[in-house]
């Protein structure tokens, strides 16, 4: 079992709709969780991180964490074509010496 699992997609969402990206993890020792966006041919960039159960909102983005069910999700409201990218989920484990564990990413396509 992979430590971090993401559906590779592509996930196709109409412009203006809500895009929902999911990530599950296997290690209950995981401490905090990160969503990175990676445009094709570019390097990853941080969107947001979350470490407490519940929701965390930042503009059009909302991260949701459920430690009991071991999943973290990213919601993108009012999706724009510029949101089309691969979204990488990463986690930090309590004893990982600051090493991030990465999922393979979900490719998101926003259709105009």
Distance of CA 13 to the CA centre of its chain: 16
Residue 35 binds another protein, judged by CB under 8 A: no
Secondary structure of residue 93 in the 3-state scheme: strand
Residue 53 binds another protein, judged by CB under 8 A: no
Residue of 58, 59, 99, 111 that binds another protein (CB under 8 A) = 99
Q: Are 108 and 13 in contact (CB under 8 A)?
A: yes
Residue 105 binds another protein, judged by CB under 8 A: yes
Residue 94 binds another protein, judged by CB under 8 A: yes
Report, in Å, the least distance between residue 102 CB and another protein: 4
Q: Are 24 and 70 in contact (CB under 8 A)?
A: yes
Residue of 8, 12, 53, 66 that binds another protein (CB under 8 A) = 8
* C-alpha closest to that of 87 among 30, 38, 23: 38
């Amino acid at each position: 079992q992979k430590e971090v699992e993401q559906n590779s997609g592509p996930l196709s969402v109409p412009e203006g709709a809500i895009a929902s990206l999911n990530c599950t993890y296997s290690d209950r020792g995981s401490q905090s969780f990160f969503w990175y966006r990676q445009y094709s041919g570019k390097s990853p960039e941080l969107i947001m991180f979350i470490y407490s159960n519940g929701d965390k909102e930042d503009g059009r983005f909302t991260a949701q964490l459920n430690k009991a069910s071991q999943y973290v999700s990213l919601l993108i409201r009012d999706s724009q074509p510029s949101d089309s990218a691969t979204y990488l989920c990463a986690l930090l484990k309590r004893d990982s010496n600051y090493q991030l564990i990465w999922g393979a990413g979900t490719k998101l396509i926003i259709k105009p």
